[in-house]
Structure 1
Amino acid sequence: MWDRLLVDCKIATLQARPGDPLGIIDNGAIGITDGKIVRVGKRTELAGTRAKQVDALDGAWVTPGLIDCHTHLVFGGNRADEHAMLRAGATYEEVAKAGGGIASTVERTKAASDDELLEQSRARLHALMRGGCTTIEIKSGYGLDPKSEIRLLKIAESLGEGEAVRIVPTLLALHALPAGSRDRRAHYVGEMIDKLLPAVARDQLAASVDAYCDTIAFTLAETERLFAAATELGLPVRLHAEQLSNRGGAKMAARYKALSADHLEHIDEAGVEAMAQAGTVAVLLPGAFYALQETKKPPIDLFRAHGVPMAVATDCNPGTSPLLSPTLAINMACTLFGLTPEEALAGMTVNAARALGLELEIGTIATGKIADLAVWRLESLTELGYWIGLPGPERRIFAGVDG
């Protein structure tokens, strides 16, 4: 006997078939036991099965739970003052050089107690969960020294305790240079690689390692040094790449079989080809594009032509993407970048799972996968990309249980 059976629903399995990118099953049913999907198909195919709990969904749509695969969720304070500067005409680089940007968030984060950071971050976590997220990646990066970065990873882990959500911690080892290290770049990079990385690997504090490679951040050589060390320690890598300029970061990351390269507004075809060959996912972040009022879009047609999977994420952070709605991220991916509604939904499910290296566990509705689901009261799933800031699902199911 199964633990639970969902019936009378339309299912978007996200297992693409020719002519059917969402893998739709009409009049479907999903059997769940021990938090995993044991059977999915048409209701008639599951006739006669018994379950302890049967939920009739009255024709609602069921999708995989949404996956936000790129956030900076744990931070202190906010940067609403910088929002005003940007609206007055300052560029992101000008704000950073004036002492704002990442540096200001680092200061406020270090000043906050662990309990204060947990309280502030939990409110943001709950907003993403209400929007339909069952898995949320959280980066460190607002510590800028080994001890502080480890602190943030532990807070991210604590944030998920007692919550019906999966937290995937990422070590953002090279995010920005501390003010006192601008003349000691090599020393700082060496400290983060030689001291921080081994400690994180030893204590299994992060699922992957990330860096910010761009004009106002770290060089290609510095980033590659980090990636070589992370790979040696068995940690997968990801990269903030080609957001403000084309530094060749995505192409380099592909050499290390990076799980993802994120932003990518300035990537060229050589970088896209390298990602395709490596199986690296392109993570699109329309919230940052919107907030920074950028005009150069990621090359969506190139990603399509070369078969690069496209994920979509909120990039929730205090400065360049104060976005707490996964459904708004889906809409923005459609309206700003030109994704189809089907591509955008795949971007926050199956392709987001790939970007986290979790495609064998989550991201599609299939036998053996974890039963992370979202139930939507919609006429058509195209509405997920149509409504601006659509409220979250009617029901969110995490590992087989409503949450």
Structure 2
Amino acid sequence: MLKTKIRTHRPSDASPVNAVHDVLYENARLYPMDPSLPSMEDTCFAVTDGRFSAIGAPVPATRRVDLQGRMVLPGLVDCHTHLVFAGDRSAEHALRLSGASYEEIARSGGGILATVEAVRNASEDALVESALPRARSLVREGVTTLEIKSGYGLDTVTELKMLRAIRRLDEHLPIRVRATFLGAHAVPPGRSKGDYLREVVDEMLPAVAEAGLADAVDIFVESIAFDIADLECLAARTRELALPLRIHSEQLSAMGGSAAGARLGALSCDHLEYADGNDIAAMAKNDTVAVLLPGAFYFLRETRRPPVAALRRAGVRMAVASDLNPGSSPIPSLLICAHMACTFFGLSALEVVEAITRHGAAAMGMADCAGTIAVGRPADFTVWDLSGPEQLVYQLGGLYPDHVYAEGEPV
């Protein structure tokens, strides 16, 4: 069981006890996931103007809600998805079941490039409509902060179309959606890597930045995609444009991309099955978040696990995400991936709850506004009829919160 303590936290001076708050939620078992706050039983918290305004004190409020002893967690954070796409790759799954590897399929023209063709042929409206059910599946589980990447366009027109679709999802959904530009996902057919990277750096990135369509930039550093020199080139341009950097690294081979990315200031390095001591040391030194993606590990039937014990010893923060995508993780469930992180990778229940709340927020550069319950933060929270957070990683599927709130509003 996760350790709980009954304790009272005094509201900040910005929310004095005698102020009248909007809503007071009473009789809660509260897990703030904020290092400065303990877990609390039989407690209360208040929300005013969409933000947490008091914790642990029975303040005056316009309305009171009795949570009847239910568990309260922060809104969940899915910090790595590719859920805007077209078509499906079920035929590739059949090939993998027959023994083909992800790399073999990719080099033969399948993989990412198969989805690229479908996305290029799809309208922006079609991309939005097909993505909404996937996103709503995550919201139903309690996700209130969601990251979505582009990367299935591989030309300027289509990458911008994908990013516009992601921005439209933010308008359709009652949660916060953040867009990541992943033009450096693969090299399109008929192009040299160097020529295509110049298009990404010199044409796509400035267009994305000028239109305000991305909150971060990502790159796939791997033998079938881009190398460290490409990463350095992209990172230099993202700095000029004041866009945060994230990296897919060490998924299929050890290339040193995680160490290089950490030194270049990346918010996160994602996958990490082949990360070594140098990668981990660099990530620890630069406070880079390790994003673990057990869905892809499972679906690709990989055998090499991320070095969780070494990451833990080094004090590297670990996030877990669904990696929802059509080819290697068609799993529209953050909670199933959280279960897998415990079962396959050896994370504890507490580590996984941190991984899908505050550490996921940190991987997105949103540690100050998502993933925790604290006075002054947006009131994103979930209410569960469960005995404790460990149940989230015990049961495989079928778990849903009783209520989800985003900025104080029911979802």
Which of 235, 241, 256 is 2:249 aligned to? 241
TM-fit CA distance, 1:162: 3.5
* TM-score (norm. length: structure 1): 0.95
Taking the TM superposition and a 5 Å limit, the aligned residue runs for 1:59-98 are: 59-98=69-108
Q: Deviations over 1:53-77 (max 9, x none)?
A: 2111111100000000000010001
Inter-partner Cα distance in structure 2 for 1:15 and 1:159? 29
Contact 2:127 2:162 in 1 (8 A): no
Q: Deviations over 1:211-265 (max 9, x none)?
A: 0000111111112111111112211100000000111101111111110000000
Match of 1:153 in 2: 163
Contact 2:79 2:146 in 1 (8 A): yes
Inter-partner Cα distance in structure 2 for 1:309 and 1:53? 38
> Does the residue aligned with 1:179 lie in a helix, a strand or coil?
coil
Percent identity for Structure 1 against Structure 2: 44
Inter-partner Cα distance in structure 1 for 2:256 and 2:38? 36
> Does the residue aligned with 1:115 lie in a helix, a strand or coil?
helix
Inter-partner Cα distance in structure 2 for 1:80 and 1:255? 38
Inter-partner Cα distance in structure 2 for 1:376 and 1:207? 31
Please tell me whether residue 350 in structure 1 is matched to residue 369 in structure 2: no
Inter-partner Cα distance in structure 1 for 2:278 and 2:81? 27
Match of 1:229 in 2: 237
Contact 2:82 2:148 in 1 (8 A): yes
TM-fit CA distance, 1:103: 0.6
Q: Deviations over 1:158-214 (max 9, x none)?
A: 012142111010001200111111xx2211110110011112122221111100000
Match of 1:360 in 2: 368
Match of 1:269 in 2: 277
TM-fit CA distance, 1:345: 0.6
> Does the residue aligned with 1:294 lie in a helix, a strand or coil?
coil
Which of 26, 30, 42 is 1:27 aligned to? 42
Letter in 1 for 2:234: L
> Does the residue aligned with 2:353 lie in a helix, a strand or coil?
helix
Inter-partner Cα distance in structure 1 for 2:242 and 2:258? 20
Match of 1:4 in 2: 23
Q: Deviations over 1:87-118 (max 9, x none)?
A: 11110011112221001101111111112111
- With 386-395 and 232-241 compared, the bigger mean Cα shift is at 386-395
Please tell me whether residue 191 in structure 1 is matched to residue 166 in structure 2: no
Letter in 2 for 1:204: G
> Does the residue aligned with 1:336 lie in a helix, a strand or coil?
helix
Inter-partner Cα distance in structure 1 for 2:397 and 2:316? 27
> Does the residue aligned with 2:154 lie in a helix, a strand or coil?
coil
Which of 315, 319, 340 is 2:323 aligned to? 315
Q: Deviations over 1:116-154 (max 9, x none)?
A: 111110010101101110010000000001121111111
> Does the residue aligned with 2:345 lie in a helix, a strand or coil?
coil
Letter in 1 for 2:46: G
Match of 2:7 in 1: none
Letter in 1 for 2:28: C
Letter in 2 for 1:35: G
Give the count of matched residue pairs: 392
Please tell me whether residue 15 in structure 1 is matched to residue 34 in structure 2: yes
Gaps of 5+ in 2: 1-19
Letter in 2 for 1:63: L
Match of 1:291 in 2: 299
Letter in 2 for 1:231: R
CA RMSD of aligned residues (A): 1.1
Inter-partner Cα distance in structure 2 for 1:5 and 1:88? 57
Match of 1:382 in 2: 390
Inter-partner Cα distance in structure 2 for 1:80 and 1:162? 28
